[in-house]
Amino acid sequence: MGHIKELAGKEGLFTGGHRLCAGCGIPVVVRQFLAVTEHPVIVAAGTGCLQVASAIYPYTAWRTGFIHSAFANTASTISGVEAAYKALKRKGLTDKEFHFIAIAGDGGTYDIGLQALSGMLERGHRVVYICNDNEGYMNTGVQASSATPLGADTTTTPVGARSKGKERERKDIIGIVLAHNVPYVAQVSPAHWHDLTSKAKKALKTEGPSFINSLTPCPRGWRSETHISMELCRLAVDTCYWPLFEVEEGVWRLNYRPRIKRPLADYLRTQARFKHLFLPENKDILENLQASVDRQWEQILKLCDGN
């Protein structure tokens, strides 16, 4: 494990003293990602848990340059930063190299920031865009987003006499991003740190936009215990709910194939947001969810075609 020790030897670019909840997956993703950067970093973040907890005046957890503007505009804000860099570099006003990183949650990516993301991808800015996908609007108190999975109990898709949680499946953000023909797209989990940091390095070296979607546990919103946040990610990967893959210049590669594909219920059982799905009357939802995971897994296997 030489690699990990080297990373730990560098000064962390994201300090303690931030106010994200105990057991939150976001800072784990951020720390792993920043650990493999080689140049000065400028981060843009959308309004959300990470931003409100990492920069509360006069405290900032960032040792990088950091800008937060609003909720919908993470991608357009970082586009401006990167454009400024290109202009000032050309004019000889800066000679440094930089990494430009945008970080937003699923609300800021799948929903309110989708247009800005699309614009950034189409314009081809050299930006790594990381989506911390915790499958809902957690900062405002666990409302459903278009990343919330079928059946999940949230404060806007509550389980009730006539409701069994969210009625629709989550949006295929990877498919949407890939439709922009960007050079590098990957799906990661912070529990698989070696995979995440390898992909981070590739993304940081990509000439043009790259997109990383990370499963990012939220103990508060998922109603899971804080100490199992990484274990949850492993279960998500081992059940093939959250496959680890990358798409380089349109070529799909599966980065991890579980030896035994575990039943989805093993993952769902760890989170009280899915508790109602284990009632006998909701058996069909559970089966639908399993079928949907199976279908997507088969699709990915086909797309990766032995890669």
Partner 1 sequence: MYDETGNKPGWQSLPRGGVIKRPGSASAYETGEWRLEKPVYNTEHCIQCFLCWVYCPDSAIDVRDGKVIGVDYYHCKGCGICVQECPRTGRALDMVPEGDNK
Partner 2 sequence: MVQTALEKQSGSGKGTALSGNEAIALAIRQVNPDVVAAYPITPQTDIVQYVAQFVADGQVDAEFLGVESEHSAMSACIGACAAGARTVTATSSQGLAYMWETLHIASGMRLPIVMAVVNRALSSPLNIHCDHSDSMGARDTGWIQIYSSNVQEAYDNFIQAIKVAEDPEVMLPVMVCMDGFLVSHSLENLQIIPDEEISSFLISTRDQSGLLFQPVTFGAMDLQDYYFEHRRQIIAAMETAKGVLLRTGKSFKDLTGRAYGLLSGYRIDDAEIAVVVIGSLSGSVQVVIDELRSEGIKAGMVNLRVFRPFPVREVASALSRCRAVAVLDRSDSLSTGGGPLFIDVRSALYAGPESRGAERPVIVNYVYGLGGRLVSLDDIRRVFEELKRVVSSGHTTRLINYLGVRE
- The verdict on 18 binding partner 1 (CB under 8 A) reads yes
CB of 108 to partner 1, least distance (A): 20
Stretch that binds partner 1, among 52-60, 88-96, 115-123, 151-159 (CB under 8 A): 52-60
290 lies in the site for partner 2, by CB under 8 A? no
CB of 290 to partner 2, least distance (A): 38
211-240 positions binding partner 1, by CB under 8 A: 219, 225-231
Is 51 one of the binding residues for partner 1 (CB under 8 A)? Answer: no
Q: Which of 29, 30, 36, 76 is close enough to bind partner 2 by CB under 8 A?
A: 76
Q: How far is the CB of 204 from partner 1 (least distance, A)?
A: 18
227 binds partner 2 (CB under 8 A): no
99-158: which residues touch partner 2 (CB under 8 A)? 115-116, 118-119, 122-123
Task: Report the interhelical angle of 26-35 vs 193-205 (nearest 10°).
Answer: 60
CB closer to partner 1, 26 vs 182: 26
153/221 Cα distance (integer angstroms): 9
Measured distance CA(261)–CA(231) in Å, rounded: 16
Separation of alpha carbons 85 and 63, rounded Å = 19
Of 191, 270, 267, 264, nearest in space to 223 by CA: 270
25 binds partner 1 (CB under 8 A): yes
Q: What is the nearest approach in angstroms of partner 1 to the Cβ of residue 33?
A: 12
Other beta carbons within 10 Å of 204: 20
Q: Which is nearer to partner 1, 26 or 131 (CB)?
A: 26
Torsion sign, CA atoms 67, 69, 75, 77: negative
**Which DSSP helix (H) or strand (E) runs through 56?**
strand 55-56
For residue 219, what are the contacts with CB-CB under 8 A and spacing of at least 6? 21, 22, 23, 24, 225, 226, 229
Q: Which residue of 7, 21, 67, 301 would you call a contact of partner 2, by CB under 8 A? A: 67
Residue 96 and residue 39 in contact, taking contact as beta carbons nearer than 8 Å = yes
Cβ atoms of residues 69 and 99 within 8 Å: no
Residues that bind partner 2 (CB under 8 A): 40, 42, 44, 51-52, 55-60, 62-70, 72-73, 75-88, 90-91, 93-94, 96, 98, 115-116, 118-119, 122-123
